[in-house]
Structure 1
Amino acid sequence: MFQKDKSVIQLQLQKNREAPGKLSRKNEDDHCQFHPNQLLEFTHIWKVSRQCLSTVIKKYDFHLKYLLKNQQYTDDVIEEIKNICSVLGCVETKQITDAVNKLNLILQGKTKSFHHDSQTSVKGFIEKVTTELSTSIYQLIDVYCHSFYADFQPVNAPGSISSVNPGLHSHLSFTVYAVHNIPEAWMGSYKVFSFSCWLTYAGKKLCQVRNYRNIPVKKLFFFLVNWNETINFPLEIKSLPRESMLTIKLFGTDCATNNADLLAWTCLPLFPKKKSIFGSLLFSMTLQNEPPIELIAPGVWDGSQPSPVTLQIDFPAIGWEYMRLDPEENRTCLEEPTKECLKHIARLSQKQSPLL
């Protein structure tokens, strides 16, 4: 017997020799450890476990301690940083890139922040850079956990890495930072990449913003397209319906035809029930065809697990939340709307206003 809510469902086991036995239980299952990840394809992308992340962090910590003690072998530290980013969806934030570049300066011996004959200065500079690097890694883990489902959660995470203009909070505004882990196959077919953003409600477009700044692929640890472009919608946040959806499409300009082809897209509700939209967030992108507008609604695209291509958006540090007003207690005297009000409502309904 299986009870869901108030409904009772009867389950009956049947033998079916033609059914695949991938999920069937065997005798040896009682004597071996089991994890759900074993049943998932693309485990390294679709699911990040605490054990997997803990392994790469321990290696990073080992090489970091050796670097602080001997002031050499920065290559090993940088390689472990790449492994951490790889586990976290092949995402490399700007803060990690900046810290890695400083470590490379130490490796190349070109930094001007210390004298080569001063061992104390070298050690102090390395300690400062590695502190920035560890903080950036911790921030990335926090962003990942806030964006996707994971069986781990950092404690006392550092400040958000969001860098959105605080003067734009009244209107819908955010920064499309980058698309991470661009497939190599795309680079051979497309020379530059762009994106578009549009708001929908009940299958209708509210507003659209197109970014015409075409950006080529950049190679850091992984391939990414880095726009760092602030998007401003001419709509106040408080005027948007609760079920408003934000959809972002990724386009690539074909090298042969010079046409803009749709490569991937993602969508998200602006006012989700379980969490607020604020700070830096990661969104999985589907590589399917054009999304149907009439089906863009909360829950149409599950972004709970990362996909091979990940979009990073920086929202304002202060999240917005939909506030439902409590009903008035004393409403015994309800008046019928006037004729002018009824005419106004009729005009709005003919315009298919999303506020009705």
Structure 2
Amino acid sequence: MEMLDGLEEEAPVNGRGPTLEDVALLAGVSRATVSRVVRGDVQVRRDKVAKVQEAVRELGYVPNNAARSLASRQTGAIALIVPEHESRVFTDPFFVSAISGVTAGLEESDKQLLLVLSSPQDHARTRRFLRGGHADGLLVVSHHEGDLSVEVLTEAAVPVVFIGRPPEGLRAPYVDLDNIEGGRLAARHLIERGRRRIAMICGPQDMPAAVDRRMGFEKELADAGLAPAWLSFGDFTLASGERETAALLESETPFDALFASSDLMALGALKKLEGQGVRVPEDVAVIGFDDIASAADDTISLTTVVNPGRRLAELGATLLLDLIAGRETDQSVVLSPELAVRSTT
């Protein structure tokens, strides 16, 4: 195997030199492949080695010797990075499913799971973790625009996989649900039920999943010659679903259906509608997104778009293990959504 030769160390331009991601993009290969070529891995195909070497020379990339040394050591751990406050992580059933899925994905390996919560107040601590070499690979879930996702990719000297599409502009391996199609499924189902004045409580618009669900919903309505009766924005919590439904009722906007971008928000909506004497589904049909365990409870029986959080996390862990082992693998895995039809529609 030919090593990267003929390279001279140069000072980074404007304080930032080219990164592994830059080389990978120019060479048309994965970040993991670039890392393997830099380390001199003999299992990389020679045509890919040539592409990486050409990209390295063109960009003037200088391998970080400290990072390379760090990456060559095995810690026996995988870190799950969650850019959320612990109050949400431990109250949202999605995160329970995700942690369970990662654990299942690691079951056949010798890797242990580290959970790293990274709310905005913890960014400095999380950066120290990224630089400290505490894990052989990183999984990122529930990411937002402007969080530490960029730092995770640029400062960690190990493979990174996102559970959910990465924020705009970031190129990284990921597993995801087709959330655009999920939004379409919800709108299509309500239209087929004869609903025409459909409101939506969207999720946070700094999260790719929430943006995609809204986009799919609006596209399906547009295809049917309709527009949303109401759009508002919650944060995927039960309290925000209740709050936004209260605002909708107070606005006196006519509506005969409500799509909430998460089951917790849908449960909050159901609570507020019941409290105001609105019959579901006779007066207003309600549909959620996620299919958390309580959605199927007989007393709730919520129609919802199934979001297989456990399966996504398991696939993400498997993808990450492949990257750590240097195996060529898919750079993205996108699952198709399904609808669980129950009594709220």
Q: TM-score range by the shorter chain?
A: under 0.3
Structure with more strand by fraction:
1
TM-score by length of 2: 0.23
Give the structure with higher Rg (CA): 1
TM-score by length of 1: 0.22
